[in-house]
């Protein structure tokens, strides 16, 4: 199984920075204020204030263990699964507190989808992988509608052409890059508003990575994306805004171009120039 078309787009040219008009009009999709995360005694994330704007890609960068993945997992409350994890502060989606006790976490996760570091398709058919989300949320009414959702999701993830003739085969039989696109298709099948991506390319080869990056840029039109990445080049290529975390602190956040060309903090400067990390 080979990755199809290599991307024609020059990925080094960053996605177009928003013009001043757009900057003024952008809508804060996710807002975090004074977010702290504790793992038992460990203070893993300290006083994070971060805004994520709609239809933009926000990249979270920083050295290992800096808390960027922890922050990402707060946004759809995946940290709830961990017994010793405690979150304080306020995170809101469309100005609704997502840690409100009256909020149902299942519905939150339907609105905030997630793609993981390692491609993790279910050991079921490609079709069932995509159809699972719509099924449990009762999105599709009838087989025809479900078929349509599956096809559309695969098309948007750029996978339809490659798998349309073998939807009944197991998703685990695809190549790594295809599996990750399958996971993205699975996430968008429930029509979320925000997609969280936790190092989605770290287990993939450069060609598959480029394919995913291209896909992320396309998805930006319809979704708000937050991506954790270890690769600064990737952050530069795909994101409009970048947040740099270090030892649990949010050191600096700003337009990607500004962060990479003219960082304000010396730690950011040190990290992006490769002095540490």
Q: Which residues bind other proteins (CB under 8 A)?
A: 76, 78, 81, 83, 106-110, 113-116, 118, 120-123, 132-133, 136-137, 170, 172, 183, 186-187, 190
CA distances from 130 to 19, 46, 122, 148, 150 (A): 36, 37, 10, 11, 6
The two tokens of residue 186 are 């699975």
Angle at 48 between CA 45 and CA 49, to 5 degrees: 170
Q: Which helix (H) or strand (E) holds 261?
A: helix 256-261
Nearer to other proteins, 79 or 239 (CB): 79
Minimum distance from residue 91 beta carbon to other proteins (Å):
17
How near is the Cβ of 259 to other proteins at its closest, in Å? Answer: 28
Q: Closest CB to other proteins among 81 and 144?
A: 81
In degrees and rounded to multiples of 5, residue 218 shows phi and psi of -70, -40
2-10 long-range contacts, CB within 8 A, separation 24+: 2/175, 3/175, 3/177, 3/178, 3/205, 3/207, 3/208, 3/211, 4/161, 4/162, 6/207, 6/210, 7/210, 7/211, 7/213, 7/214, 9/214, 9/217
Minimum Å gap between C-beta 117 and other proteins is: 9
Instruction: State the minimum distance, in angstroms, from the CB of residue 85 to other proteins.
Output: 13
Q: How big is the chain by its Cα radius of gyration, in Å?
A: 19
> Minimum distance between the CB of residue 136 and other proteins, rounded to whole angstroms?
6
Q: Cβ 177 to other proteins, closest distance in Å?
A: 17
In this complex, which beta carbon is closest to other proteins, that of residue 98 or of residue 210?
Answer: 98
Closer by beta carbon to other proteins, 75 or else 210: 75
Nearer to other proteins, 110 or 253 (CB): 110
- Based on CB atoms, which residue is closest to other proteins, 182 or 232? 182
- Minimum Å gap between C-beta 131 and other proteins is 11
Tell me how far apart the alpha carbons of residues 120 and 182 are, in angstroms, rounded to a whole number.
Answer: 9
* Minimum CB distance to other proteins smaller for 114 or for 210: 114
Q: Please choose, from the candidates 103, 18, 79, 104, the residue with its C-alpha nearest in 3D space to the C-alpha of residue 54.
A: 18
| Residue number, 93 or 253, with CB nearest to other proteins | 93
Is the separation of the CB atoms in 147 and 106 below 8 Å? no
Distance of alpha carbon 17 from alpha carbon 103, whole angstroms: 35
CB of residue 246 to other proteins, shortest distance in Å: 26
């Amino acid at each position: 199984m080979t990755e199809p078309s290599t991307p024609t787009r020059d990925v080094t040219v960053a996605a177009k920075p928003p013009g001043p008009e757009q900057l003024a009009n952008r809508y804060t999709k996710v807002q975090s204020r004074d977010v702290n995360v504790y793992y038992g005694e460990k203070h893993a994330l300290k006083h994070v204030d971060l805004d994520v704007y709609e239809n933009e890609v926000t990249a979270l960068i920083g050295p290992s263990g800096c808390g960027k993945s922890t922050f990402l997992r707060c946004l759809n409350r995946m940290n709830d699964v961990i017994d010793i994890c405690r979150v304080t502060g306020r995170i809101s989606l469309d100005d609704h507190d997502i840690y409100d006790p009256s909020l149902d976490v299942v519905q939150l996760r339907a609105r905030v989808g997630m793609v993981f570091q390692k491609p993790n398709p279910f050991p079921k058919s490609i079709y069932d992988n995509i159809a699972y989300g719509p099924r449990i949320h009762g999105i599709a009414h009838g087989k025809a509608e479900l078929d349509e959702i599956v096809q559309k999701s695969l098309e948007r993830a750029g996978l339809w052409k490659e798998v349309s003739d073998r939807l009944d085969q197991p998703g685990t039989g695809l190549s790594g890059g295809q599996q990750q696109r399958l996971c993205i298709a699975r996430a968008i099948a429930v029509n979320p508003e925000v997609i969280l991506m936790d190092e989605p390319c770290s287990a993939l080869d450069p060609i598959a990575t480029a394919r995913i990056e291209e896909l992320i840029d396309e998805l930006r039109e319809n979704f708000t994306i937050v991506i954790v990445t270890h690769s600064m080049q990737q952050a530069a290529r795909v994101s409009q805004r970048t947040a740099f975390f270090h030892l649990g602190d949010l050191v600096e956040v700003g337009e990607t171009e500004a962060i990479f060309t003219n960082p304000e903090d010396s730690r950011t400067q040190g990290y992006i120039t490769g002095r540490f990390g």
